[in-house]
Structure formats: C-alpha cells, structure tokens
Amino acid sequence: MSEMDDATGAAASPPRPSGDPPPATARSRRRGGTHPLARFLIRRILTAVLLAWGITLVTFVLTNLVPGDPVAANLGQRALGDPAIVAQWRAEHGLDKPLWQQYGLYLQGLVQGDLGTSQQSHRPVSEDLAEFVPATLELAGAAIVVSLILGVAFGVVAALRRDRFADHALRVLSLIGISVPTFWLALVAFYVFFYRLQITPGSGRVDPALGGAPPVTGLQTIDALLAGRWDIFVSAAGHLVTPALVLALYTIGLLTRFTRSAVLEVLGQDYVRAARAKGLPGRVILFRYVLRSALVPIITVAGLAFGSLLSGTVLVEAIFAWPGIGQYAYKSATTLDLPAVMGVGLVVGVVYLVINLIVDVLYGVIDPRVRSQ
Amino acid sequence: MRRDRKGLLGRLPEAWRQPLAVVGIVVAAAWLVIAVAAPVLAPYDPLAQELPRLAAPGPGHWFGTDQLGRDVLSRVLYGARVSIPLTLLLVVMSVLVGGLLGACAGYFGRWVGESIMRLADLVFAFPTVILAMVVAAALGASLTNAVLAVLVVAWPSYARVTRGLVLGVREREFVLSGRLLGFSAWRSLRVDVLPNVTGPVLVLATLDIGTALLLLSGLSFLGLGAKPPSPEWGAMVAGGVEVFDSWWVATFPGLAILTVVLAFNFLGDTLRDALDPRTARAIKERAL
C-alpha cells in the first residue's frame, strides 16, 4: 500500500512545484539565531532518532505480544520435548527475563552499537547486517537511478505530448508498471532472459568463477572498479541489470505518472509563458524553467519510493538468489529471530530516514527560494 | 474542502466514459463474475490431483496442469474466490480504521491527533513488506493473519488523507454553524464533515485495491499467507518456482493478479483525474 499512498500523500501536501518551501524551512526562517540548515538538520536527526527508537519498540511489541513462539520456530521437534533444553535455550537468548527487562537490555546494547545475537546464524546481528546490507543497497540504488532516469524522461515526454498518442501509451504502460506483481515479474524475467534466451547471467551478484573484488564499499561494481578488475565489473553489472530493472518497474511507473502531472502544472505557469514569449529555445525552457521547478515534488516522491524499493527487495532477492537484506529479513521473520528482525527494521528505517533527509537538503540545491535564508 | 457532494456526483459520468475506465470496469466485473461462478466455469475440481502431472497447455486443459496433477485453469478461476473478496474486505477495513482514526486526528487535534499521526509516521517509516512480513510471521502463517498484517501497514495512508481533508473542512462556516446549533462532535463529523471527505478517500481506496492484492499475494508467495492446497494466486506462483521448466504453472496465476490489479488501477487513475480539479477541466473539454 505504502507506495501508492506515498505518492497520493505527497501530492496532497506541500511542497508543490510552484508552491511554498517545505514547512520545516519555513519554520526556521521565522526564527533567528543558528544557521537554518543546521537547525533543520538537528531537528530532523532528532526526529530520526525518535523514529528509530519507535521502530525497535514496535518490532519488539509486535513480535512479543503475538502468539508466535521463537522457541518453537528455532528448535527441532525432539528438542522441544525436553524442558531442560528449552529452558537453556530461553536463558541463552535472554527470553527467561520479563519483557521490559529484555527490551531494556536490548536498548542498552543498542546505544553501544550492539544489536544482539541472531538466534539463527549465532553471529552478532551487526555482522550479519554488514554482510547483507551492501548487496541490497547496490540493488536498490541501481533501481532508483534507473527509475529516476526513465521515469522522469517518460513523464516529461507524456506532459509535452499531452493528449497525444505518446501520452496515452505512456499512461497505460506506467499503469501496467505499477500493477505487475514484482515476484512474478522476477520469475518471468529470470525464465525468459536467463533460462530461455540465455542473454543474462543467472542468480547471485557475480560469476562465482571470478570470486569477487576485495570488499571496500561492499558494492561489487564499485569495488571491482576500485580494484581495477574490469572482468568482475562487467560480470557484477550484468548480474545487476535484470533484478534492478524488475525492481525498478514499479517506481518507473510511479515517477512517470508523477512527473507528468508536476511538469504539466509548471507548464501552465506565467513565467513559462513569459519565457516562451521572449523567444527562449524550447530546450532552455524545459531544463532551466520547467524541470528545475518540477524536480522538487519529483525527488520527494523518489525519496519515498526508495523505501518501497527497499522492501520490494524481499520479493526480488528470493528469485535471483541475491544475498541481501531482503532474504535475511525473510529468514528472520519466519523463524521469529527477534534481534535480527529488529536489526533489519532499524537499518532499513534509518536508510529511509537518511534518504529523505538528503531529499530535504536537495530542495535547497534545486530551489533557490528554500536556500535564500 | 474543494467541492461539495453534488460536484463529485456530477463529475462521475464523464469519468465512466473514459476508455481506461471502461476497460477497468469490464475486467473487474468479469473477475467478479468469475469469482461468483467459478464452480460452473471451472472444468475440474481445483483440488483434485487426478490429471497427468505438468501437462503443457493444450486442448482439455488450456492452462496446463501443475506438479500435483491439478488443472491450472480451474485453480486460477477458483483463486478469484479466495483473493478478490479478501482484498475488498481488507480495503474496506483499512478505510474504516484509517478513516476513523484520521477523522479523529483532524477533528480533535491536539494530543489525540498528534499521537495518532506519530503512530502513522512510524508505520510509514517502516518498510511495508518487511513490517507485514513480521506481523504475518508473528501471528502465524494463514490467510486471515496475512489480511491483518496488510491492514496494519495499510491504515495510515487513509488516516493521513482523511486528517488533511478534515482539517480543511473543520473551520468552514457550515461546520462551525452546525456546532453552534448544538451538534455533537459525532453528529458534526457524520453530517457535515464526512460527505466532504468521501470523494478523495474513495479514489484512494480504488487505487489501493490493487496495492492490497499485490501485498496480500506477495505474502502468500513468501509462504506467509494461504496454506498450500488453497488455490491462492500468490501461493500458486510460489508453487511454480519449484517447477521452473513448466512455465505455465506460475505464469497464469501471475497474469490473474496482474489483470485484477490493472483493472482497479485503470479505474482509480481515471477517478483521480476526474476528481482532481487541475485535470478535471481537460476531461470536460474532451467530453464536449
């Protein structure tokens, strides 16, 4: 749901292309004193910390209040029959303590950077996450870049060709894009391009024969470039194409629809008409006048869409055997591995908050009215 | 609010004449008919494992058979009875829960509103599929629990939209005069505020049917929804992953999901255009 609603919500509230600067900036503009950007950042970071804490609380409550029992999910049938083993397992994972104490211990560890130990992998959750997060970031990052390029381009074309054939065709295509079940599309793409046509590499992140580049950033493509290994880069990029496109399709559809309406709205403004009247070339009007102003709501939606991309990875990673956080999240959720689930929630939540923080800062770069104070 | 109830109804007939809306209505109606008439339409029992296994599509079984010798066409048709009613129920529940909470948040403001909206923010900050997955896994894998899980992630968008709309109407003269006449908060909400909020919420709900079905079948695909023998489309796609070679096992249930979601998105998109004052004019011009 979130995906569609994000767009609807963003459309229903400021900022609009021609409208006011984001509310937080408006607020800081009224006050004097500290640099407004610093003030704004501090406010946002505090909110982010509060939200992150909220995420741990929600996950904790959810996974504890409901009937699921992590003991049953983790121990085998025979071990379950032996109360001593069950008790020992509970004590080992701190499950014998009262709930508030469990949560307190978790928070205490959290502020020291300790996310607890996964009940499944028996490793610190932070280690697990460090292994899986980069793969997902690479996938989602590639997907959002593709979505932005194609979505904005399609949206601009649709707006400029309003009510002509291209507009109608793009409308239908983008609606198809937001209607395709991702997990099914992943399967179809895998079957057609890998199994039948054999034009894309199979599952995983890189050809196993090549090994993989020495990890620096954890992003295979970047690491390969850093190591100067062109062969690994080609293989990693090849592995990335299909899952990233599958993942991006929804966001492409969303951004096309959204860019179209944002551009249409700007096209109707007086200053665009004035620019046309004074004979500026169409290219200048499009890039300097229209796109620049339409970009503010577009990146807002893109920021929100990144969150849905991150959760969409759960479904795509399963098909492409992509060793990312989605698969980890799935495994932890089905085994009720509480520390791991909370870790995933925290990381994805924080990434989401950081992205939207960047989006807010970008407003200032794009829109001089936001920057002026 | 942007317009009164009359304007909303007056605008609808034009929207229904849009080609996309017509396609949407026809396809959605067709699926509803299929859901009702599945026992008549389906050539085989969707659960009976009596046919040759993994037979390719052809005369006799147009969608082929799966690895247990069940007719895929019959299962897809019966799947409409599983997925569509549940999705509609889910959206109605989200509208009720989210709408009520949002209306309270907008109407009462202050700490009631603040706490409801912060809770909504929290759900928004959490990645949808992962949250739904945790709830579904924690409640235990079943279709009912998957619906509950989707409800948990679905209500906040209605709360947000409703709250925004209610905030917009709350201070309008006709609401205030109602309060002056001694309307209770509940009566004022019901009589004066609600009619002004329904339009946009209905559009959101129509668009949401598609998203809800995607999420619900996604959970079933992950094994957190429908239990195996049930002909649920997401679960059928998951079954098709195991027999990768036989493309028909996964392809047809996926197409079923796609067509249902697409139909409602066609419908919702046209409705949004019709109700959006900025694009409504364009439709009117075209209709004349």
What is the ipTM, given to two decimal places?
Answer: 0.85
pLDDT tens-digit profile, chain B (288 residues): 444 444 555 555 666 677 888 899 999 999 999 999 989 888 888 888 877 877 778 787 888 888 888 988 999 999 999 999 999 999 999 999 998 898 888 878 778 888 888 888 778 777 778 778 878 877 777 888 889 889 988 898 888 888 888 887 877 888 888 878 888 877 877 777 777 778 778 878 888 899 899 999 999 998 888 887 889 999 999 988 888 888 899 999 999 999 999 999 998 888 877 776 554 444 444 443
Integer Cα distance of A24 and A364 in angstroms: 12
Q: Report yes or no: B194 and B99 within 8 Å, Cβ to Cβ.
A: no
Residue ranges of alpha helices (H) inside A66-164 are 70-74, 77-80, 83-92, 99-111, 125-160
The pTM assigned to this predicted structure is 0.82
State whether residue B278 sits within 8 Å of chain A by CB: yes
Integer Cα distance of B105 and A10 in angstroms: 19
State whether residue B1 sits within 8 Å of chain A by CB: no
Residue tagged 């499950």 (tokens): A95
pLDDT digits (tens, 9 = 90+) for B91-125: 999 999 998 898 888 878 778 888 888 888 778 77
Q: Which domain holds residue B104?
A: 14-287
Integer Cα distance of A308 and A318 in angstroms: 16
Q: How far does A226 lie from chain B, in Å, by closest CA?
A: 32
State whether residue A19 sits within 8 Å of chain B by CB: no
State whether residue A348 sits within 8 Å of chain B by CB: yes
pLDDT digits (tens, 9 = 90+) for A299-330: 888 887 887 788 788 889 888 888 888 888 88
pLDDT at B253: 95
- Is A55's CB within 8 Å of B122's CB? yes
CATH number of the domain where residue B136 is located: 1.10.3720.10
- Is B221's CB within 8 Å of A315's CB? yes
Q: Is residue B99 part of a domain?
A: yes
| Beta bridge partners of residue A117, listed in sequence order | A124
**Structurally, how many domains does chain B consist of?**
1
Q: Is residue B7 part of a domain?
A: no
* In chain A, where the domains are located: 36-67+115-372
Best mutation target among B23, B123, B131 (most A Cβ atoms within 10 Å) is B131
- Tokens representing residue A222 in the block: 């970047």
Interface A–B counts its CB contacts (< 8 A) at: 186
Q: What is the Cα A277 distance to its own chain's centre?
A: 42
Return residues 235-254 of B near A (CB < 8 Å): 237, 240-241, 244, 247, 250-251, 253-254
Q: How far does B200 lie from chain A, in Å, by closest CA?
A: 10
DSSP string, B31-71: HHHHHHHHHHH-SS-TT---SPTTPPSBTTBTT-B-TTS-B
Residues from chain A that touch B240, judged by Cβ atoms under 8 A, are: 187
Residues from chain B that touch A162, judged by Cβ atoms under 8 A, are: 282
Best mutation target among A5, A65, A162 (most B Cβ atoms within 10 Å) is A5
Task: Give the number of other Cβ atoms within 10 Å of residue A139's Cβ.
Answer: 30
Nearest by CB to B130, which of A5, A265, A344?
A: A344
Burial B233-258 (b: 16+ CB within 10 A, else e): bbbbbbbbbeeeebbbbbbbbbbbbb
| Beta bridge partners of residue A59, listed in sequence order | none
Q: Report yes or no: A338 and A60 within 8 Å, Cβ to Cβ.
A: yes
Class of domain A36-67+115-372: mainly alpha
DSSP conformation class of B67:
T
